[in-house]
Chains A and B, each alone.
Chain A
Amino acid sequence: MTLFASIMIDGIAYAMILFMIAVGLSIALGLMHVVNMAHGAFAMLGGFTAVLLMQRAGWRYEFAVPVAVLLTALASVPVERYLISRVYRRPELDQALLTIGVAFVAIALVNLWLGASFVSIAPPPWLSGPVDLGFRSFPRHRLAVILLGFVVSAALWIFIERSRFGVRLRAAVDNAGIAQTVGINTARLYSAAFAIGAGLAALGGIAGAELLPMEANYPVKYLVLFLAVVAVGGQGTLFGTFLAAILLGVIDTAAKYLLPDIASISFYLTMLVVLALRPQGLFGRKEAA
């Protein structure tokens, strides 16, 4: 019982991190049909910005984190407008290569400026320490991550389903051409959606710094994880990304606990099985030929 609970708690915490970071990637793919291999760089940017604000500027965690998220979202706008948007209509390979280049540049800049070592983000006292759930105690931070993940998912869902922005977003995902003729400014929509995705990635990066440590190599090191979540869930679907994150997060954690020998394969095997049986992902739309 304790084992099961441990797996679930750790697995879902991991899943929430993956979700928060990968959701922006899924939106970019579903909305602008662009494969953004540099997406992890936003998570990294958020993490390092938070660290800089806390360590060099002496800010408190409670202020540093939201500001870091905001700054990352803002920084993503020129990147999207002047760089990434130029490959929207190009083949996937070109998009992947351009964004890999952007990721490389981001890694190099971070390293040249801040060094190659790992950087840790120390949570404040009210988020640290253990919480005793009776059968086992867990780090408070991990439970907070789970809570954060659910809150973010719910907020995102409400935003996309209920707000006017969300309506326009869904219209543009369905059919960009028609959305434009109805007067939706798709360029601004894309920038906004991109920025939201980048901000969420930053949040996920900061929150997940314990599981996915902050370092210059972050974007490339964990790229496959984020891509896997999107591919398995189906691009452009919020629910799909969420479910895929849970699936992959829990399976990976369970394997680490139960079958440590095949733990590293389990993630990729799961991805392989799902994609072989359902190429469009769990909730993706079957692409017309």
Chain B
Amino acid sequence: MADLTAVQPPLARTRWLGPELAVVVAGVTAALLFPDDLGFITRINILAIFTLSLALVIGQAGIATLGQAAMFGAGSYSAALWAIHITPEPLSGVLIGALVGASVAAASGVLMLRTRGLTLLMLSVAVAQVLLETANKAGSVTGGDDGLADIPVSPILGVFAFDFRGQVGFGYTLAALVLVYFCLRRVVASPFGLTCRGIRADQVRMRAVGAPVFRHLLSVYTLGGAVAGIAGALSAQTTQVVGLNSLGFELSAEGLVMLTIGGVGHLAGALLGVPAFMIIRHVAASINPYHWLLVIGLLLIVTILFLPQGLYGLPEKGRAMVRRRPK
């Protein structure tokens, strides 16, 4: 019988909840160390969820997109409108955000996912831009250029009311992050996840094993849209503000950069890259806004050329370098 210990079965890997626990510990530690920066940490949680959606769509299935903000913004606006017009109850708002994000992804996916390369990239940008301009023009609904403000949000489960210090917001988004991470880890370990990775590697090969490639791409892109929509909804609820930048190219590009720095091929890359990026930007931007652009630019170049696995791959790179040194 072959030695299968080198090939750990996926379910065993997901039963081990270490990674999720690590996220909780890291989040709580950060909150305890920096109690006045809970808004900043909350933003990190939300962007981490957004970047996880990219880790799924790009890292697992190879769909190179610069338009993921379309689903984030759609989730943001829909959750805001839900809160304003229907009910300020937050959990239903998140569900709405997920559904709308998924719908936008599915609709645009049908258009985009039969294409590849530059065409796919440009279509993703075009979709997000068209949505942005539509939101800009539909001022009566979306607030146009000013966006929506004073979005009402009632206590979570009727008990946890959002406070000025941001503690509830922090806990709320952290819980969401852990839940999303838990679910996505299982998706990655599932047969669906492996099939997506196969598609990322070689679409022709996958057709030759009978895989309905387009249906797979549409499924994973829709799931990614739901996750991005959740992030958008959380953003609307915790900041109580939604603007056109939630649909903007900058957000999509930022997500991509954060994921790259953390490591594209792994979900954990999102969890590493987002705090790294946000902290660097915070520090460098306070000196000079263009300094951080320089740092990020150099970081990107270095990552792509020398550290293709991003921060996630650092320990492995370090081990490889140690091994190469003569004893």
Using a CB–CB cutoff of 8 Å, the interface residues on chain A facing chain B are: 29, 35, 83, 86-87, 90-94, 96-98, 100-109, 111-112, 116, 216, 224, 227-228, 230-231, 235, 261-262, 264-265, 268-269, 271-272, 275-276, 279-281, 287, 289
CA distance A60 to B271 in the complex (A): 54
What residues of chain A lie closer than 8 Å to B119, measured between beta carbons?
231, 275, 279-281
B297 touches A97 (CB 8 A): no
Smallest CB gap from B207: residue in A: A289
Contact A271 B296 (CB under 8 A): no
Residues of A within 8 Å of B130, CB to CB, are: 265, 268-269, 272
Determine how close the nearest CB of chain A comes to the CB of B124; give it in whole angstroms: 10
| Shortest distance from the beta carbon of B90 to any chain A beta carbon, whole Å | 32
- How far is the CB of B265 from the nearest CB of chain A, in Å? 11
Is residue B314 contacting chain A, with contact meaning CB distance below 8 A?
A: no
- Shortest C-beta distance, B142 to chain A (Å), equals 14
Whether B64 lies near A92 (C-beta < 8 A) is: yes
Q: Which 8 A-B pairs have the closest CB atoms?
A: A104-B297, A101-B300, A108-B294, A105-B297, A231-B122, A279-B115, A101-B301, A111-B290
Q: A35 — nearest CB in chain B belongs to which residue?
A: B118
Evaluate contact between B118 and A101: CB separation under 8 angstroms.
Answer: no
A50→B204 CA distance, assembly (Å): 49
Q: Chain B: which residue is nearest A223 at the CB level?
A: B249
Task: Say yes or no for B203: interface residue by CB 8 A criterion.
Answer: yes
Give the chain B neighbours of A287 by CB distance below 8 A: 116-117
B299 within 8 A of A: yes
Q: Which residues of A contact B66 (CB under 8 A)?
A: 96
CB-CB under 8 A from A106, the residues of chain B are 297
Q: Are B114 and A279 in contact (CB under 8 A)?
A: yes
Q: Give every chain A residue within 8 A of B165 (Cβ-Cβ).
A: none
Interface hits, B249-303 → A, CB 8 Å: 249, 253, 256-257, 260, 264, 288, 290-291, 293-294, 296-301, 303
CA separation between A224 and B133, bound complex, in Å?
15
Contact in complex: A105, B125 (CB < 8 Å): no
**Which residue of B133, B294, B303 is within 8 Å of A112 (Cβ)?**
B294
B contact residues around A227 at 8 Å (CB): 118, 121-122, 125
Asked if A108 and B293 sit within 8 Å, CB to CB, the answer is: yes
Interface of A is mostly: helix
Q: Are B122 and A102 in contact (CB under 8 A)?
A: no
A107 (CB) vs chain B CBs: closest residue: B293
Asked if B180 CB lies within 8 Å of chain A CBs, one says no
| B200 to A, closest residue via Cβ | A91
Q: Is the CB of B308 within 8 A of A275?
A: no
A268 touching B133, Cβ below 8 Å: yes
Task: Check if B126 is an interface residue, CB within 8 A of chain A.
Answer: yes
Given contacts A112-B294, A230-B118, 5 further A-B pairs with CB under 8 A are A102-B301, A105-B294, A227-B121, A275-B123, A287-B116
Whether the Cβ atoms of A96 and B204 lie closer than 8 Å is no
CB contact between A103 and one of B117, B125, B297, B305 (< 8 Å): that residue: B297
Q: Which residues of A contact B299 (CB under 8 A)?
A: 101
Q: Are B253 and A100 in contact (CB under 8 A)?
A: yes
10 pairs, A vs B, C-beta closer than 8 Å: A105-B293, A105-B301, A111-B293, A224-B249, A227-B122, A227-B125, A230-B118, A264-B136, A269-B130, A272-B127
Most buried by A among B117, B123, B207, B257: B117
Q: B167 interface residue, CB < 8 Å from A?
A: no
Task: Please report the C-alpha to C-alpha distance between residue A289 and residue B116 in the assembled complex, in whole angstroms.
Answer: 10
Q: How far is the CA of A236 from the CA of B293 in the complex (A)?
A: 31
A96 touches B301 (CB 8 A): no
Cα(A86)–Cα(B130), bound, Å = 35
- Name the residue in B119, B134, B308 with the highest tally of chain A Cβ atoms < 10 Å from its Cβ: B119
Q: Does the CB pair B121–A101 fall under 8 Å?
A: no
User: Once the chains bind, are A109 and B294 in contact (CB under 8 Å)?
Assistant: yes
B280 to chain A, nearest CB (A): 13
What mask results when residues 95 to 120 of chain B are scored 1 for a CB within 8 Å of chain A, else 0? Answer: 00000000000000001001111110
With A96-B64, A268-B129 in contact, is A102–B115 under 8 Å at CB?
Answer: no
- Taking a contact as CB atoms under 8 Å apart, the answer to whether B290 and A216 are in contact is yes
CA distance A227 to B133 in the complex (A): 19
Residues of B within 8 A of A224 (CB): 125, 129, 249
The reply to whether B294 and A104 contact each other, CB–CB distance below 8 Å, is yes
CB of B247 to closest CB in A, whole Å: 12
Q: Are A275 and B122 in contact (CB under 8 A)?
A: yes
CA distance A268 to B129 in the complex (A): 7
Taking CB atoms, residues of chain B closer than 8 Å to A96 are 64, 66, 121
For residue B298, which residues in chain A have a CB less than 8 angstroms away from its CB? 101, 105
Whether the pair B126, A94 counts as a contact (CB closer than 8 A) is no
Interface centre among B58, B203, B260, B293 (most CB of A within 10 A): B293
Q: Which residue of B lies closest to A232 (CB)?
A: B122
Of the candidates A112, A268, A272, the one whose C-beta lies within 8 Å of that of B290 is A112
Most buried by A among B58, B64, B116, B118: B118
Whether B194 is near chain A, meaning CB under 8 Å from some CB there, is no
Could you tell me if A98 and B118 are in contact, using CB atoms closer than 8 angstroms?
no
The answer to whether A98 touches B125, judged by C-beta atoms less than 8 angstroms apart, is no
Indicate with 1 or 0, residue by residue over B31-75, a CB within 8 angstroms of chain A CB atoms. 000000000000000000000000000100000101000000000
